[in-house]
Chains A and B, each alone.
Chain A
Amino acid sequence: MVKFLKPNKAVILLQGRFAGRKAVIVRSFDDGTRDRPYGHCLVSGISKYPAKVIKKDSAKKTAKNSRVKAFMKVVNYSHLMPTRYTLDVDLKDVVSPDSLVTKDKKVTAAKEIKKRFEERFKTGKNRWFFSKLRF
């Protein structure tokens, strides 16, 4: 009875090109919109996970390995698997439905998300989110 598909929830995509990738809900549209008459949400997730980083690596290696490639997508709720994890990254100002319309807006938004994800990965928090789901 508690709504759990809220912003900042970590989810796993089940269908599409990014199936098996982890993402975080940025905005949710429970009742749908005119174009999409079903419950859906805007997610931004990781398309390329950062590689394993150990203390012994040189600074150049850690910098190279902690790169994250991000994506944004509008996904139907039934193509998501919600998890009990959350990710407190503020992406609302960067990602919006109109930033998915044109290619250049998409690229700038993706770059910004990439930066924020990398920052978060470097702090070592939310380790689950940045680890690849093995299946």
Chain B
Amino acid sequence: MVAAKKTKKTHESINSRLALVMKSGRYTLGYKTVLKSLRNSKGKLVIIANNCPPLRKSEIEYYAMLAKVGVHHYNGNNVDLGTACGKYFRVCCLSIMDPGDSDIIKSMPGDH
């Protein structure tokens, strides 16, 4: 059962984990590269902003279902996701290929 409202605490922990991935891991930002990373099975976790257009969102989820990769729906829009990645642009979806020092993949899976 999906929690109706994400508590502030878990939200901040995702942000901090993302920051660690940005520093130490490998990731790609953006729809085209996310699909590429899913196709060549490099992606390990996909994060989608909440204002992603529903067709694009379901397309990414379908690819992730085929590739058996977890999808995390970020609690924030693409502006927030871009800020969480430390970038000055909007990020609608991103794919983490190598988490580096972060434990984002171990603690996030099954979280839809």
Interface residues of A (CB under 8 A from B): 1-5, 30, 39, 77-78, 81-82, 84
Give Cα A1 to B42, complex, Å: 6
Say yes or no for B89: interface residue by CB 8 A criterion.
Answer: no
State the main secondary structure of chain A at its contact with B. loop
**Are B67 and A4 within 8 A (Cβ)?**
yes
- Counting from the closest, the 9 A-B pairs by CB-CB distance are A4-B66, A2-B68, A3-B41, A2-B67, A1-B41, A77-B39, A1-B69, A4-B67, A82-B66
Distance to closest chain B CB from A19 (angstroms) = 16
Number of A-B contacts (CB under 8 A): 30
Q: Which residues of A contact B39 (CB under 8 A)?
A: 4-5, 39, 77
Residue from the list B32, B36, B40, B63 in contact with A82, Cβ < 8 A: B63
**Are B40 and A2 within 8 A (Cβ)?**
no
Say yes or no for B35: interface residue by CB 8 A criterion.
Answer: yes
Distance to closest chain A CB from B92 (angstroms) = 17
Contact with A along B33-66 (1 / 0, CB 8 A): 0011001110110000000000000010001011
A-B CB contact pairs (8 Å), 18 listed: A1-B41, A1-B43, A1-B44, A1-B67, A1-B69, A2-B41, A2-B66, A2-B67, A2-B68, A3-B40, A4-B39, A4-B41, A4-B66, A30-B40, A39-B39, A81-B59, A82-B63, A84-B66
Q: Which residues of A contact B68 (CB under 8 A)?
A: 1-2
Give Cα A81 to B38, complex, Å: 12
Interface residues of B (CB under 8 A from A): 32, 35-36, 39-41, 43-44, 59, 63, 65-69
Query: Which residue on B lies nearest to A9, using beta carbons?
Result: B66
Give Cα A2 to B36, complex, Å: 13
Give Cα A77 to B32, complex, Å: 12
Give Cα A39 to B33, complex, Å: 13
Give Cα A12 to B24, complex, Å: 37
**Are B41 and A39 within 8 A (Cβ)?**
no
Query: Which residue on B lies nearest to A38, using beta carbons?
Result: B36
